[in-house]
Amino acid sequence: MIRLSNITKIYSTGFLNKKNLTAVDNLNLEIEEEEIFTLLGPNGAGKTTTIKMICGLIKPTSGKIYINGNKFNKNSKKLIGAVLEGSRNVYWNLSVLENLFYFARIHNCYDESTPKYAQNLLKQFDLYEKKSTPVGKLSRGMQQKVALCCALIKNPSILLIDEPTLGLDVASSKKIKEMIINFSKKEGKTILLTTHDMKLSSEVSDRIGIINKGRLIRIGKLEEFKKDFQRSVYKIHCEGSYETDFILSLQKKFPNINIKTENQDTFLIQVHMSEFSNLYEILNFLKNNHIVFSSIEKEQPDLEDIFLKLTGGM
């Protein structure tokens, strides 16, 4: 388990005229054992700074970090594996296997079982055939996998991953997603992700936290976010085509309705219920104008909509 208590990180910027920059501001957070927790935020929100404090690369200005109930110490680092900048986290001139052995040694966990464990990791990540290849000659997706292997070589119970799918193609992103789920659900690891990938967040996260300007502004499950931010917007799918006179009369009676053609045989009417109270009044209007509608559905907000609203992006 990870617990952050009133964590703040302030940087001093400038040479002559020094100014203080608050990267993380009084952050409180608990991540449960075996949970996949995603931290979402715009650039400069404090996501990477938070991860670096958790793994001990930088010290918080104030506040405390607890790992498995204990205040952060040297032994805490043994429990944590981190991928902070993807392929920049590994050595491109070394082979795939040499990178794993190198990181095992600097983490003081290299022993007689390491070669077999490293090879098993490479097989799990579909990298075994590339074990002797210099990392610099691999694709971006394979380099990201190598970085994950290096973080896992000490078999940590906690995994911190910064932007795991950044710059990857669809196939590589899908594979990384499957591995993240496997680490948590089958191997029992606690995982903290930072990402801009809304699709990844939606598909793998047990809970999501949204951070902006160093402050954690919302935490919850995706379903909770959607429920709280649901919109009174309905889509009416209509059959046939429509005349200009019909559109003018509809928009005159119900301002700000959106209408668009779906194909030659159907069109869509988008109804914002906050602007008028009675959906049945609109349906009766369509019926009186001999418009046949095939279905009605309530529009659900996606994670991107919610993120933009919370961070002031829309």
Confidence of residue 219 (pLDDT cuts 50, 70, 90): very high
Residue 214's pLDDT is what? Answer: 92
Q: Is the pLDDT at 232 greater than 80, yes or no?
A: no
99 touches 135 (CB < 8 A): yes
Q: Which residue did the predictor score with more confidence, 241 or 32?
A: 32
Question: Quick one: pLDDT at residue 269?
Answer: 85
Q: By the 8 A CB rule, do 203 and 195 touch?
A: no
Quick one: pLDDT at residue 278? 66
Q: 172-191: per-residue pLDDT in tens?
A: 888 888 989 999 999 999 99
pLDDT in tens, 60-112: 999 999 999 999 998 898 899 999 876 677 999 999 999 999 999 999 999 99
Across the chain, what does the average pLDDT equal? 87
pTM, 2 dp:
0.76
The strands making up 190-194's β-sheet, listed across from edge to edge, are 80-83, 158-162, 190-194, 36-40, 207-212, 215-220
More confident residue, 27 or 199: 27
pLDDT (tens digit, 9 = 90+) per residue, 103-154?
Answer: 999 999 999 999 999 999 999 889 999 999 999 999 888 898 999 999 999 9
Cα separation of 191 and 291, whole Å? Answer: 52
Place of tokens 């003018």: 248
The domain made up of 2-227 has a fold known as Rossmann fold (3.40.50)
Task: Pick 57 or 229 by higher pLDDT.
Answer: 57
CB-count exposure of residue 262 (10 Å: 0-12, 13-18, 19+): exposed
Distance of CA 196 to the CA centre of its chain: 6
Domain 232-311: give its CATH code.
Answer: 3.30.70.3400
Angstrom distances, CA of residue 28 to CA of 5, 135, 157: 5, 38, 21
Q: Of 11-15, 180-184, 207-211, give the lowest mean pLDDT range.
A: 11-15
**Residue extent(s) of CATH 3.40.50.300 domains in the chain:** 2-227
Instruction: Outline which parts of the chain fall under CATH 3.30.70.3400.
Output: 232-311
Residue 151 contacts residue 81 (beta carbons within 8 Å) = yes
Residue with tokens 């779906």: 262
pLDDT band at 229 (very low <50, low <70, confident <90, very high): low
Give the Å distances, CA to CA, from 107 to 49, 100, 130, 212, 302. Answer: 22, 11, 23, 33, 41
Start-to-end CA distance of the chain, whole Å, equals 35
- What DSSP state is assigned to residue 55? T
Residues in the chain: 314
Q: Please, which residues bridge with residue 82 across strands? A: 160
